[in-house]
């Protein structure tokens, strides 16, 4: 593996970092406090190609490789995890799933609109009673003529209240279990489709999270994504991409924690000298740096496999598990470095901790990642 970035990857990092510093970071605190969705930021990201990074140019994307995609996601995550979440779901869960499983007609119709930012996408898998047990979908799909009638509810869906297109997973035949699942492309303006925003979140406050309610929602048969019975595979492939972008964004969050801690430790004076000179403060900063580098290399390893079309599920699980847990620890250390000030919103590190926490939960909890890795190592599944 070549550890040197290509000229294109370097250019993406420079462009993304400048955009993050100038357009995303300055208003991150206000957006978090007031739960302001980053509509204006997304409008500016579209023309730069940020909203369709890894999507091939023939479908309106920027055609980035997966390392460049990770670099872009990392830089956005360094500035604001809420914007990164919006971006991750829109690209990794929605667009890349359509790219892999969609018909040529579906890809040509939807991907250019999604990649340009004309519309936003979401991924409707989680349900009120179905989190990690993704195969146990309660939402149903009944075929009637040239339509599928969907009934059910989805919960904790990022972008739900803003997305014009949702990938909805539903059970077509309960007797078949996971083999009865199917995925559907559902437009917001479809009769019987509605959403309700969720407020009061611990973190990621300026990203949109909500419920999707389906009441006799009639979807054209042409909107079936893949084939009936492939729904579980569609969902798992989408999660592979989602976990990759969450891991990359977590690298950015670790970097943000380190940069904030170094700056504060140099300016904060105690006992007659900057606290950066205290050994135990340096220990915490050193831990952040090591975690950042290790997490980034794990992400790049998974991206390397993706670029070559090789199986990447385990590498992605490892990257997601390590990066998200490391981001949580880095945020804890950053607050410790900042002392009492770290416990207030005068500095951004308290937001970093709140935002880091959910990354160990969505796209598969840390425990789910461990079980997937454990199954790979032992050949024995801990799942039922």
Q: Which residues contact 178 (CB under 8 A, 6 or more apart)?
A: 135, 231, 232
The answer to whether 8 is a known catalytic residue is no
DSSP 217: E
Contact 263, 338 (CB under 8 A): no
- Give the max Cα distance, the chain: 79
Nearest 10 degrees: Cα torsion 58, 59, 63, 65 = -120
DSSP 271: T
Closest CA to 363 of 39, 161, 14, 73: 73
Strand residue runs (E) in 71-229: 121-124, 140-144, 147-158, 165-171, 181-187, 193-197, 209-220, 224-225
Separation CA 288–CA 329 (nearest Å): 8
Q: Number of C-alpha atoms within 13 angstroms, CB side, residue 7? A: 0
The residue from 35, 325, 363, 377 that is catalytic is 363
Q: Which residues contact 375 (CB under 8 A, 6 or more apart)?
A: 381, 382, 383
Residues belonging to the active site: 363
């Amino acid at each position: 593996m070549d550890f040197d970035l290509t000229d294109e990857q370097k250019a993406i990092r420079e462009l993304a970092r400048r955009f993050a510093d100038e357009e995303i970071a300055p208003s991150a605190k206000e957006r978090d406090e007031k739960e302001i969705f980053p509509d204006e930021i997304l409008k500016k990201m579209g023309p730069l190609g940020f909203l369709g990074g890894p999507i091939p140019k023939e479908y309106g994307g920027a055609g980035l490789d997966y390392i460049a995609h990770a670099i872009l996601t990392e830089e956005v995550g360094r500035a604001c995890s809420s914007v990164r979440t919006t971006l991750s779901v829109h690209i990794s869960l929605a667009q890349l799933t359509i790219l892999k499983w969609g018909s040529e007609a579906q890809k040509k119709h939807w991907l250019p609109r999604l990649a340009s930012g004309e519309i936003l996408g979401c991924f409707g898998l989680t349900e009120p009673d179905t989190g990690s047990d993704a195969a146990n979908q309660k939402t149903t799909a009944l075929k009637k003529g040239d339509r599928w009638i969907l009934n059910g509810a989805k919960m904790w869906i990022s972008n739900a209240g803003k997305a014009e297109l949702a990938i909805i997973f539903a059970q077509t035949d309960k007797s078949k279990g996971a083999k009865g699942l199917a995925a559907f492309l559902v437009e917001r303006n479809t009769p019987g489709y509605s959403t309700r925003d969720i407020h009061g979140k611990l973190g990621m406050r300026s990203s949109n999270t909500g419920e999707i309610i389906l009441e006799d929602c009639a979807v054209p048969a042409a909107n079936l994504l893949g084939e009936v019975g492939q729904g579980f595979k569609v969902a798992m492939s989408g999660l592979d991409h989602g976990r990759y972008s969450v891991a990359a964004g977590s690298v950015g969050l670790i970097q943000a924690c380190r940069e904030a801690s170094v700056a504060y430790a140099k300016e904060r004076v105690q006992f007659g000298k900057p606290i950066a000179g205290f050994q135990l403060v340096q220990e915490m900063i050193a831990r952040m740096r090591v975690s950042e580098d290790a997490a980034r290399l794990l992400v790049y390893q998974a991206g390397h496999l993706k670029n070559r079309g090789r199986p990447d599920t385990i590498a992605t699980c490892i990257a997601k598990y390590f990066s998200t847990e490391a981001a949580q620890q880095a945020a804890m250390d950053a607050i410790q470095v900042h002392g009492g000030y770290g416990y207030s919103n005068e500095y951004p590190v308290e937001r970093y901790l709140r935002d880091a926490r959910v990354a160990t939960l969505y796209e598969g909890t840390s425990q789910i990642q461990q079980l997937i890795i454990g199954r790979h190592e032992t050949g024995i599944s801990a799942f039922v």
